Amino acid sequence: MRLSRKGFSLKPCLLLATSISLLSCGGGGGGSGTAPNEGTPTPPSPPPPVVCEGNCTNADSFLRTADVEKVVQQAVAEAKALGVAATIAVVDRVGNVLAVYRTADIDTSKSLLISSNKQGLSDIDGGLENIELPLAVGGDALAAISKAITGAYLSTEGNAFSSRVASQIVQEHFNPGERVQPAGPLFGVQFSQLACSDFTLDNSVTGIGPKQAPLGLSADPGGFPLYKDNVPVGGVGVISDDFIYTLDKVVVDSDMDQDELIALAATVGFEAPTDRRADRITVDGKVLRYTDVEYSQLTAAPGAASVLNDSDGQYIPVPDYIDGNVRAGQAFGQASSGIRADTTTYPNREAYVFVDAAGQDRFPPKDGTELTANEVQAIIDEALGVANQSRAQIRRPLSTKARVTISVVDVNGDVLGMARTLDAPVFGADVSLQKARTAAFFSNPAAADFLQNLPLTQYLNSDLSPKRNVDIANYVQALRDFVEDSSALSNGIAFSDRAGGNLSRPFYPDGVDNAPHGPLSKPAGQWSPFSTGLQLDLAMNGIVSHLLHVAGLQTDDVGNNCVGVPFGGTASSAANNIANGIQIFPGSVPIYKGNTLVGGIGISGDGVDQDDMIAFLGVHRAAEKMNGSFNNAPAEIRADTLTPQGTRLRYISCPQSPFIDSDEQNVCSGK
């Protein structure tokens, strides 16, 4: 039986807004349908019991070339058994591409279609929707790489997340399809890790990461993490057959998704520990969805893969990503990976830092225009302390401490310092910097002028020819109209990412269907994870410029600034205030000296409420340590003083009783 890639669903269930409905529909913990073949093979033995809680990675925690080849061989065996063409990518934990393989039966006259409609063209007119990337120039490879990076970057020793999980947590409702529910907890995270970012690295720098993802993080099922000895070491991504790069809008059924089947087959011997999988983790009382298929549903016998030959397909080069050879990954946490233990700056915090090829800290604390290096160091140090005291939201075992990345920026977005804990998810590095910059940017009285002078955003037809323009200045006017303040974004109101994110949802208030859309969002019906509004429109030209370069349609690649890139250009005309793009889910606050904005802090890692708290309390505790030389925004200028459309914005949301070593409650109150 031949599957269509986004083909059929198994036993659709009634739409229930409870986690029980997810379990009864076979989400994650066990598929509810029958395998596509008669006489299913015996699934592999489960991995050994997990004993890792964030400190197991070591110099031997990496994918060797033989491991990479085995992963690819197993994926190819499943694709052949299903009778479908597929492209497979393997990456290490910091995003180095280790292999890209195409099966022999791929029709390279086809194109990869980006669409929120599983069946083909979307009705949405804007953003990346309905763009087609020819396979002849690597459109399939770019999708597979982004899926693999998603599985790798979202996963840790405490949680194993897939691109299906990403699909569940970035849509306009959580869960997708449930009405009158707020947006996903990581709404907007898909537009991170971008190739135009000044933080993520391209492959001109060998080994060290974090590396860029060509399409950002992926919400298309078919991307899984890879583990060795209960430690995440990378990810695998698959795109196949009809080559639609999409997402799953319905979580109350189980899809027999062939991308996911092929990718799951690839993980045999490198499986995520069962009790770390997303289907063992709840968010807001809802079970996350790791996979809709299971090993018992594979068509090929798990692990029964042979050495590939020319008739099977070939490893292919992808410009800017890999030369066509198979290579080994880097050992995470070692200097060669770009992330190593801190030895001097943050004592007794179990801190790690991002390093260059020589092993030197890329972002040590430094002076800004107003913040001193000592103040920056104190802020990061205290934020690390709050994280180590806090109970993680999305990790197992329960009551383990939060693992996060912390970024501090100047008022103009310059990076003043970054640090992380060892087992924080890799995606949080670029995201924490996006968050810090977003808070500083939207709180800056110069924000409106900056936005009003950016180049036009170019939307494209499916063949990549120009379609129509978007003027970023229109978002400024929409915001001013929405909040009924002609000075908005010029008046110095302090915006956290939670507040700005509220204005970036397709419904305001968030989750109230049929309510007006936020002024920084596309309206409901024209919003999708591929067309979010201001967030994407700011970076759209930069994203497309990179895609055109990889496709050989543009000679030069985009520079290290996602914002202010003219269409078809390679250099930005803008300052680096938001050089890696903005982020629109919680976890940041601006920093002040009196009433004067001096910077921002962003946190990303183990749950958005924790991120909010660590940012807010990190600044507060550091201010106490430094005798009040800086602090959080004065309460009277915070965005929660605004009530657009009669609904008050939220500034931060701290967990009720968040600490492992204390039963203290309301920890952010009055600060």
Would the pLDDT of 37 be above 60?
A: no
What was the pLDDT predicted at 99?
98
Three-class DSSP labels, 66-126: HHHHHHHHHHHHHHHHHCCCEEEEEEECCCCEEEEEEECCCCCCCEEEECCECCECCCCCC
Segment 134-145 mean pLDDT: 96
What was the pLDDT predicted at 644?
97
- pLDDT band, residue 23 (cuts 50/70/90): very low
456 versus 20: which is more confidently predicted? Answer: 456
Domains for the chain: give ranges and CATH numbers.
9-35+60-298 (3.30.450.150), 338-444+586-646 (3.30.450.150), 448-550 (no CATH)
What was the pLDDT predicted at 36?
44
- pLDDT band, residue 585 (cuts 50/70/90): very high
Torsional class of 334: left (φ above 0), alpha (ψ -120 to 50), beta (otherwise): beta
Q: How far, in Å, CA of 519 to CA of 79, rounded?
A: 45
Instruction: Output phi, psi for 266, to 5 deg.
Output: -65, -25
What was the pLDDT predicted at 399?
86
Q: How far, in Å, CA of 620 to CA of 601, rounded?
A: 12
What was the pLDDT predicted at 40?
52
Segment 213-220 mean pLDDT: 98
Q: Show the tokens assigned to 111.
A: 């194109």
Q: How far, in Å, CA of 83 to CA of 2, rounded?
A: 6
- CA atoms lying within 13 Å on the CB side of residue 100: 26
What was the pLDDT predicted at 44?
67
Average pLDDT, the chain: 92
The pLDDT tens digits for 157-172 are 999 999 999 999 999 9
The pLDDT tens digits for 628-655 are 999 999 999 999 999 999 999 999 999 9
Q: How far, in Å, CA of 235 to CA of 232, rounded?
A: 8
Sheet of 415-421, strands arranged across: 339-341, 351-354, 415-421, 405-410, 596-604, 588-593, 631-632
Segment 193-218 mean pLDDT: 95
What was the pLDDT predicted at 305?
84
The pLDDT tens digits for 439-452 are 999 999 999 999 99
Cα separations in angstroms, 58 against 114, 180, 426: 38, 45, 16
What was the pLDDT predicted at 205?
82
Q: How far, in Å, CA of 53 to CA of 39, rounded?
A: 38
What was the pLDDT predicted at 21?
33
What was the pLDDT predicted at 370?
97
Segment 283-300 mean pLDDT: 94
Q: How far, in Å, CA of 637 to CA of 484, rounded?
A: 16
Would the pLDDT of 8 be above 90?
A: no
The pLDDT tens digits for 327-342 are 999 999 999 999 999 9
Percent pLDDT > 90 in the chain is 87
Do 645 and 519 touch, CB atoms closer than 8 A?
no
What was the pLDDT predicted at 45?
65
The pLDDT tens digits for 661-670 are 899 999 999 9
What was the pLDDT predicted at 157?
97
Question: Which helix H or strand E contains 175, and what residues bound it?
Answer: none
Q: Nearest to residue 420, comparing CAs of 374, 498, 366, 363?
A: 363
What was the pLDDT predicted at 39?
46
Q: How far, in Å, CA of 53 to CA of 154, rounded?
A: 16
Q: How far, in Å, CA of 150 to CA of 53, rounded?
A: 21
What was the pLDDT predicted at 137?
93
Whole-structure pTM value = 0.94
The pLDDT tens digits for 59-84 are 999 999 999 999 999 999 999 999 99
- pLDDT band, residue 4 (cuts 50/70/90): very low
- pLDDT band, residue 203 (cuts 50/70/90): confident
Q: How far, in Å, CA of 87 to CA of 167, rounded?
A: 20
Do 338 and 201 touch, CB atoms closer than 8 A?
yes
- Structure-derived torsion over alpha carbons of residues 309, 108, 74, 252, reported in degrees to the nearest 10: -170
Q: Nearest to residue 18, comparing CAs of 143, 249, 175?
A: 175
What was the pLDDT predicted at 34?
36
Would the pLDDT of 436 be above 50?
A: yes
Decide: helix, strand or coil at residue 319. Answer: coil
